[in-house]
Amino acid sequence: MSTYYAGLFADAGILLLGALSVYIILATGQLSLGNAGLMGIGAYVTSYLTVNVGVPITAALTIAGIACGAIGVVVGFPALHLKGIYLAMATLGFGEMVRSFFLNFSPMGGAGGFHGMKHISVGYIWAWAGGLLIVVMLLERSRVWLEMQAVRDDETAAGLVGLKTTTTKVAAFGAGAAIAAISGGLFAHQFVYIEPGNFGFERSIDFVLAVILGGSTVAPGALAGAMLLVLLPEMLRFLADWRLAAFGGLLIVVLLVRRQGILDRSLFRLVTFRSSPT
């Protein structure tokens, strides 16, 4: 595999994790526009551990994931008050605050960025990305997932039948934050240099786009979306300067003609030759 394709696949793997982090939170009906901030925390924590402390990468990623999951739970609690677009705007503000924090945080380089990480292979990135995708797909077949769907569809009704809606929503935030942190740690060790600008609003939007384009009702949708988001601008290269405009146009078209995203449950069944449960 050439370096060029290796780079693209690495990007796609990192984006897949970012998209999954949004997907899990979205499964409880909450939209987060601040996951790049959580990814940033993960990137900085992992890099600190591998460069300054000398922890091996896998252990560092695990620690960053757990730490960021805890942060996600802490962030998730106040977020319980907010719904829909208000939650989206609050998480957007959180992401910008994290970015601004690292700009001022001189022990980790501040605006100058941080480097010294060792490069990792595409295979390693995809071991994490693929592994976590499978974990989420297994989760989708569990009772917990049904509870998450119930909270998304009607929170009041879910609460009335005795589901712990608060726990479900906060746990989803924690799990999403942990995955975002791992995505950030991998990002840091793929590009071996990080700066706060890497974890801005545009990246949060990329995660949401991957989920919505790929299909927001099945986990493999995040995979489809991540591949599409990384490969499409490359495939549109013949359009030269206009390829971003074409990409924006395609995005609108997909939203207009296939609102649920490219993959949905029925298409997914068709692809996997599984009979529908009727």
Partner 1 sequence: MLLQQFVNGLTLGAVYTLIALSFALVMGILGVLNLAIAELFMIGGYLGFSVITLNLPLPLAIVAGMAGAALIAAVIEKIGYQPLRDTPVVTPMLSTLGFSIILQNVATNIWGSDPLQLPDEFLGTRYVIGPISISSMQLIVLGATAVLVAALAYVVQRTSIGRALRAVAENRDVARLLGVSASRLTLLAFVLSGALAGAAGVLIGLHYAAITPYIGVEIGLKAIAVMVIGGTTRIWGALVAGPLIGIIEVMTVAYGGSQVRDFVVYGFMIAILLLRPQGILGGTQGGQGQRV
Residues that bind partner 1 (CB under 8 A): 31, 78, 81-86, 88-90, 92-94, 96-97, 99-101, 103-104, 110-111, 201-202, 205, 208-209, 212, 241-242, 244-245, 247-249, 251-252, 255-256, 259
Q: How far apart are CA 250 and CA 263, in angstroms?
A: 16
Q: In the 8-state DSSP scheme, what is residue 118?
A: P
Largest CA distance in the chain: 59
Nearer to partner 1, 39 or 120 (CB): 39
Least distance CB 85 / partner 1 (angstroms)? 5
Q: Helices 201-214 and 220-235, interaxial angle, to 10°? A: 110
Q: Which residues lie below 8 Å from residue 143, measured CB to CB, with a gap of 6+?
A: none
Least distance CB 203 / partner 1 (angstroms)? 12
Encode 205-235: b = buried (16+ Cβ within 10 Å), e = exposed: ebbbbbbbbbbbbbbbbbbbbbbbbbeeeee
Nearer to partner 1, 128 or 207 (CB): 207
Nearer to partner 1, 241 or 276 (CB): 241
Q: How far apart are CA 210 and CA 213, in angstroms?
A: 5
Q: How far apart are CA 170 and CA 55, in angstroms?
A: 29
Nearer to partner 1, 193 or 242 (CB): 242
Nearer to partner 1, 13 or 18 (CB): 18
| Rg of the chain, C-alpha, whole Å | 18
Least distance CB 121 / partner 1 (angstroms)? 32
Least distance CB 96 / partner 1 (angstroms)? 5
Nearer to partner 1, 136 or 208 (CB): 208
Least distance CB 13 / partner 1 (angstroms)? 23
Least distance CB 265 / partner 1 (angstroms)? 17
Burial of residue 274 (CB within 10 Å: 0-12, 13-18, 19+) is exposed
Q: How far apart are CA 171 and CA 248, in angstroms?
A: 34
